[in-house]
Structure formats: structure tokens, C-alpha cells
């Protein structure tokens, strides 16, 4: 599989509904904390992904992460939408068919400050 195809498949995987659970887990540690996350959306360009094929690893930058967080309280709180630019890294495997990739894990480099300067 050529590197551009791997990068394209990583974009699809990072932005997929299947990856949403991983993104929600990464958002568990926002500052300030929240009472739940909804409507997670990720947009990253293929040109912002670097791949190490022998190590089956990747890095990304400039990923736009947008989400809606429930703030103040679980019963009387309110939802607010946030958008953050993040970078990160992860590991992948080639699918048995050799025509696809599967992300095993990924992390982000930044801590998410909900009310930081990059709102």
C-alpha cells in the first residue's frame, strides 16, 4: 500500500464514527471538567499526517476537533460548543486483506483547556 493511500485511510479512520469513542475518552480530561460530550467532529487534512510504515505509527497536526460539552451540572447544566486544534500520534495495523488500515490507538499532545485562547 502506498503512503498517500495510507494517509488517506488514516484521515478517514480518525474522522469516522468508530473513532468517536476514542475522541470522547480523550475529552474526559478537559479543564474545567464537564458532565458529558456530544457531537464530536474531527477534521484533519491528509497533508498533516506523517506515517512510519515499518513502525506502523503515525503523527498528525492541525486536526480541528469540535464538540459540545455539558457544563456546570448534570441536571441543571447547559451545553456549549468548542473547537480546538490538536496534534497527536498513534499506531495502526494493516487489515488482513491488505487493502485497509485499522487504527489501534491514538493520543493527542495537548491538554484541552475549554476556555483557553484558541476558542
Does the pTM surpass 0.85? The reply is yes
Pairwise CA distance, residues 69 & 81, whole Å = 6
Whole-number pLDDT of residue 73: 73
Pairwise CA distance, residues 115 & 119, whole Å = 7
Residue 98, classed as helix, strand or coil, is coil
Pairwise CA distance, residues 37 & 20, whole Å = 11
Residue 83 has pLDDT above 70, yes or no: yes
Question: What does the pLDDT look like over 5-51, one tens digit per residue?
Answer: 999 999 999 989 888 889 999 998 898 888 889 899 999 999 999 99
Residue 117, classed as helix, strand or coil, is coil
Q: What is the mean pLDDT of the chain?
A: 90
The residue among 61, 66, 56 whose CA lies nearest residue 46 is 61
Amino acid at each position: 500500500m502506498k503512503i498517500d493511500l495510507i494517509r488517506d485511510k488514516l484521515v478517514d479512520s480518525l474522522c469516522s464514527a468508530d473513532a468517536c469513542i476514542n475522541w470522547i475518552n480523550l475529552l474526559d480530561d478537559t479543564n474545567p471538567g464537564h458532565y458529558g460530550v456530544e457531537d464530536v467532529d474531527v477534521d484533519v487534512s491528509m497533508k498533516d499526517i506523517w506515517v512510519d510504515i515499518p513502525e506502523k505509527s503515525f503523527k498528525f497536526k492541525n486536526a480541528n476537533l469540535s464538540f459540545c460539552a455539558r457544563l456546570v451540572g448534570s441536571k441543571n447544566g447547559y451545553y456549549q460548543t468548542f473547537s480546538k486544534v490538536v496534534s497527536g500520534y498513534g499506531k495502526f495495523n494493516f487489515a488482513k486483506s491488505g487493502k485497509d488500515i485499522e487504527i489501534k490507538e491514538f493520543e493527542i499532545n495537548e491538554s484541552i483547556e475549554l476556555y483557553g485562547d484558541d476558542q
